[in-house]
Amino acid sequence: MNSSANSHAFALTPDQQNLMDYADRFAREQLYPLCEKMDNEEWWPQDTFKEMGKLGLLGVTVPEQYGGAGLSILEAGLILQAISRWNHAFALSWVAHDNLCVNSLYNNGNEMIRQKYLPKLCSGEWTGCLGLTEPGAGSDALGSMRTKAVRDGNEYILNGSKIYITNGPIADICLVYAKTQPGRGSKGITAFVVETSWPGFKVAQKLQKMGFRGSQTGELVFEDLRVPVDNILGEEHEGHKVVMSGLDVERAMIAPVNVGIAERTLELSVEYAKTREQFGKTIASFQMVQSRLADMYVWIETMKTFCWQVLAEVSHIDEATAGRGEIHARTAASIMYCADMCNRILDNGVQIHGGTGYIWESEMNRLFRSTKLLEIGAGTTEVRKMIIAGELLSDQ
């Protein structure tokens, strides 16, 4: 893709800036006060999605006829960036619901699926999740997949398990991938829309994490769970296409989480530097502290520019063509760069805060504990480099 065609992405339109400001106010006023309880208790505010649904902050990329807001991937990313500034744990659950589940259901679902599931997911009455990763299938999620589904008339019988599933313990709807044609390697997979109330669906355990603690993460088990054939997402046995197109969008969408966390880290670091006194003066007067702050600012500005541009590019492609070519490399590059810079910014933030940043209860510490997940989820840094190198070395 010719990135010069998307030069408008370097600056937000007034409407996009207003949307981000709107989401920022909501997150600052309604989500930020929940952070401490969510982190301390791994607690989830179950009614908040319904409030967001009323405000048009769910189903962002879904057309209005199904209850959504009808906005672009870029605009969804701006909302996510604003939420991430104030409550990154909530932001992770939001993107798992709104992008990994809801956006995929709209893009790949038949009309029955769209009409049956999207309105309640867009209103926040239902929560969605994506079930791809398994205990033995992480970076090689497709090739090593062991969850299987066997056809029985107009139903499939699903057996297997998924792990590290964001929203898994609280979800009403789960987009599940399973092998339906064993022996085809990373193909022969089908995507299913599963209702978690159906017999055979179990939450085996809720997992406790180092960071993003309020975002609920779990292990899911399927035991002879029957799924109607009508609930197949995309084409039967062609679920790998749904996965690959969705992963590009997911990587582009996870990048703004890094940006929001980094923005909040810089804000806290500037405030602390201006008020913390040592040797008879504020540490903001020390050139080495100023150097760290300047680096953090530059990294954030470049993160925003790259992140927004790639989001704009994803917004303008046919998602059926995603998962290969230049956009495949650019989405991997966007999340890799943003996660790497976020790591550096968080490291500088803790260093500026000194001992205060190392105390568990501090906001700086809570932010710092988020860093590694962003270098692992949606494809590890190593996988992202493989994708980029593969595109660079391709003969196509």
Closest CA to 101 of 67, 143, 129: 129
Asked whether the beta carbons of 3 and 309 are under 8 A apart, the reply is yes
- Residue showing tokens 């590059």: 333
Closest CA to 102 of 173, 44, 167, 48: 173
Q: Which phi and psi (to 5°) does residue 126 adopt? A: -115, 150
Asked whether the beta carbons of 140 and 380 are under 8 A apart, the reply is no
- List 75, 250, 263, 313, catalytic entry: 250
| Residue 2 exposed, middle or buried by CB count within 10 Å (0-12, 13-18, 19+) | exposed
319 part of the active site: no
The string over 125-139, giving b where at least 16 C-beta atoms fall within 10 Å of a residue's C-beta and e elsewhere, is: ebbbbbbbbbeebbe
Query: Quick one: how far is CA 354 from the chain centroid?
Result: 30
| Cα–Cα dist 40/261, whole Å | 19
> Tokens at residue 183, please?
């022996």
3-class SS at 241? helix
Q: Is 124 left (phi over 0), alpha (psi -120 to 50) or beta?
A: left
| Cα–Cα dist 361/348, whole Å | 18
Q: Which phi and psi (to 5°) does residue 237 adopt? A: 70, 5
Instruction: Find all residues with CB under 8 Å of 360, minimum gap 6, and list them.
Output: none
Q: How much of the chain is helix, strand and coil, in % rounded to 5?
A: 55, 15, 25
Closest CA to 341 of 378, 302, 368, 312: 302
**Side-chain half-sphere of 384: how many Cα atoms within 13 Å?**
24
H helices of 225-318, where? 239-275, 287-315
Asked whether the beta carbons of 214 and 40 are under 8 A apart, the reply is no
Single-letter amino acid code for the residue at 176: V
Positions annotated as catalytic residues are 250
